[in-house]
Structure 1
């Protein structure tokens, strides 16, 4: 699996959680929760690209948070 671009939404199959790709260190990738929070490590083989539906859901949640003045 090739290294994704920074900011790519991925699903961590172990945690069943969406995260933004933040970088790699050796054989580990780092994801940050899509709606903010603390990064975590994941093995690349335990991820897959977010579906269009998941990307739309996150984009909507981010837009709603910004409209409420929240920082992500």
Structure 2
């Protein structure tokens, strides 16, 4: 049976904070908030779980390209 509900991204997955319009990697869920790290590193921010969603295909492609660009700049 298929579900129409979209599941929230898990730890280590790309996600979007709809309130801030930012994309990052889910790091943890603490105190009822989701902690998200920017895709190229930096300070994590907290988001309410209801505002954290999986990326659409185009957003995910763009985010994965940005990650590769960050890694190439860092020599990885």
- Calculate the TM-score normalised by the size of structure 2: 0.76
Q: Deviations 1:10-69 (Å, cap 9, x if unpaired)?
A: 11111100011000113111000112111011100112111111111111122223333x
CA RMSD, aligned part only?
Answer: 2.0
Q: Structure 1 residue runs of 4+, over 3 Å off?
A: 1-4
Q: Number of paired residues?
A: 70
Structure 1 residue runs of 5 or longer lacking an equivalent are none
Based on CA coordinates, which of the two structures has the bigger radius of gyration?
2
TM-score, length basis structure 1: 0.79
Q: Which runs of 5+ in 2 are unaligned?
A: 1-5
